[in-house]
Amino acid sequence: MRILIIEDDATIAANLYDFLEAQGHHVDAAGDGITGLHLAVTQAFDAIVLDVGLPGMSGLTLVRKLRDEAHVDTPVLMLTARDTLDDKLEGFARGADDYLVKPFSLKEVEARLTAMYKRGSGRVTTRLLQAGTLVLDPKTMTVRFAGNEVKLPPKCLRILELLLREPGRVISRDEIERLVWGEVQETSDTLRSHLHTLRRALTAAGGYDPVETLHGVGYRVRTADA
């Protein structure tokens, strides 16, 4: 599994990292909520271990943003030092999949992650993102439009993935920039040039540009073929 650990306690993070890596997993780690959220939305993980008490952004806020704003459904195992029912209920309400109270055993963490991954793998990785004949397969990150394969640079692919998660929904420039680059860019040139590359490649494959610009509002992908 590819596992992301978001935990500010250096000892706990190192123990988790070393244990999970020794079990053969590919592990990344972040020590604060903002870095953690950025990694969780810009890279593909099979499971996330998330501490509730984090500097910058709490684990509860992070999981809500991950689900509601970034529309990322990677399974999340929450860790908390506070053994209260309120925290647990709040974590689940915000989109966590499972929950462990500190102190926990490392074997228990791995067992929970594996169980979450098995429960979620059918749901998470096989859903094709689709609008008309424009299809993105999140498992292989390949794109086809009108039956033709579309080769895209990584950032363009990520922009298209965001647009295709909810065809028809308008996504603002700020939201795309935050989810693709981790922060709002100083000028709109970066996003504009990536959109230009994306649109040119899609038009070449499908015969028209499926990305609509709503001036001053944002961007969306057409729900059906033109």
Q: Which residues make up the interface to Ca ion (CB under 5 A)? A: 8, 51, 53
- What span, in angstroms and rounded, lies between the C-alpha atoms of 157 and 57? 27
* Shortest Å, Cβ 133 to Ca ion: 47
Closer residue to Ca ion in complex, CB, 83/149 = 83
Closer residue to Ca ion in complex, CB, 5/180 = 5
Of the candidates 150, 148, 130, 128, the residue with the CA atom closest to the CA atom of residue 139:
128
* Shortest Å, Cβ 125 to Ca ion: 30
C-alpha pair distances (Å), 179 with each of 11, 37, 46, 77, 183: 29, 9, 18, 22, 7
Of the candidates 95, 22, 43, the residue with the CA atom closest to the CA atom of residue 65:
95
* Shortest Å, Cβ 45 to Ca ion: 20
Of the candidates 81, 112, 82, the residue with the CA atom closest to the CA atom of residue 97:
112
* Shortest Å, Cβ 53 to Ca ion: 4
Q: Which residue is nearest to Ca ion (CB)?
A: 53
What single letter denotes the amino acid at residue 6? I
Closer residue to Ca ion in complex, CB, 23/61 = 61
Closer residue to Ca ion in complex, CB, 5/159 = 5
Closer residue to Ca ion in complex, CB, 53/182 = 53
* Shortest Å, Cβ 186 to Ca ion: 32
Counting Cβ atoms within 10 Å, is residue 30 exposed (0-12), middle (13-18) or buried (19+)? buried
